[in-house]
Amino acid sequence: MRVIEPWVAEPLERFLAESAARVVLLTTSSGQVVAQHGFTRALDVMSASALGAAIMASTEELGRLTASGASRSLSHQGPSRGLFLSAFDLPQGRWIGLVVYDRDSSLGLVRLFFDRLVGELQAVAPAEVPAREVLAADFENELNASLRSLFGR
Amino acid sequence: MRLDIVGSLESITRVRGVRGAMIVSAEEGLVVAESSMEGIDGAAVAALTAGVVARLGRATEAAGRTAPAFVHLQAERGALLAVPAPGDLLVVAVTDAAVNVGLVRLELRRAAEHLA
């Protein structure tokens, strides 16, 4: 497990132990990675975070267009693995969780423990940090620092 | 069908000492239908029961036996009973400690047969 925000580590570790999830990715709603478990390549993480953010954005917009309300989570059951995607709010803004599980777990267990993870994150999240101007050079440095944290390179 | 399911669950909850009954999708661990589950987190019971039954199934399979036909978890203040049903479902009852387990088991099996 690798985390960018240290306060995420303990609740996420508990979630992994309880849900028996194989892969977990926490990102901001814009796709910036906050924590990951189970990925081995930086490219996979970046693709998955971008796709997760895009899916959640599309789902929320679809919910708005059809007046069915913004959907906060969705799941897909494959033949051997399931995928659970959910958005939740923290003082830092909206985050997205992407969870992959197999037959050692179930959608019910993942949902149950994911709700608990969200509750724990909301309890330990530091107060909102005021936004600062993002410069191109900072962006590059932060991206590299994040990748180093997530993959130890 | 929906009325049949509700009727089956109600005959389980009519047994003295049964606090609630539910039908759970075994693979997903989600609630399909529930009856009289006041004060009980149905979603959590469904997810955890399906997890336990799946693991027990794998354990008995590894031991060269067939999957359990009846699961009885006895706790200090009550019990959790589950019977697999056709269509990858489970019929589950949450009971107090003082309950006629045999009678609940009978009703669980009847409900499971109704789902066939």
Residue ranges per structural domain of chain A: 2-151
Taking an 8 Å cut-off on Cβ atoms, the answer to whether B47 and A106 are in contact is yes
Res. A133: pLDDT tops 80? no
In the sheet with A93-101, reading across from the earlier edge strand, the strands are: A2-3, A33-37, A23-28, A93-101, A82-90, A73-77
- Which of A120, A103, A14, A108 has its CA nearest to residue B44? A108
| CB proximity list for A77: less than 8 A, separation 6 or greater | A83, A107, B28
Cα of B61 to nearest chain A Cα, Å: 15
State pTM to two decimals.
Answer: 0.81
- This model of the complex carries an ipTM of 0.79
Q: Best of A111, A112, A114, A115 to disrupt the B interface by mutation (most B CBs within 10 Å)?
A: A112
Superfamily of segment(s) A2-151: Dynein light chain 2a, cytoplasmic (3.30.450.30)
Question: Tell me, what's the pLDDT at A31?
Answer: 85
Q: Does domain B2-114 have CATH number 3.40.800.10?
A: no
Res. A153: pLDDT tops 60? no
The chain-wide mean pLDDT, for chain A, equals 87
Look up tokens 């923290």; give the residue.
Answer: A90
Question: Tell me, what's the pLDDT at B1?
Answer: 56
Res. A152: pLDDT tops 70? no
Share of chain A above pLDDT 70, in %: 84
Residue ranges per structural domain of chain B: 2-114
Confidence of residue A131 (pLDDT cuts 50, 70, 90): low
Cα of A22 to nearest chain B Cα, Å: 16
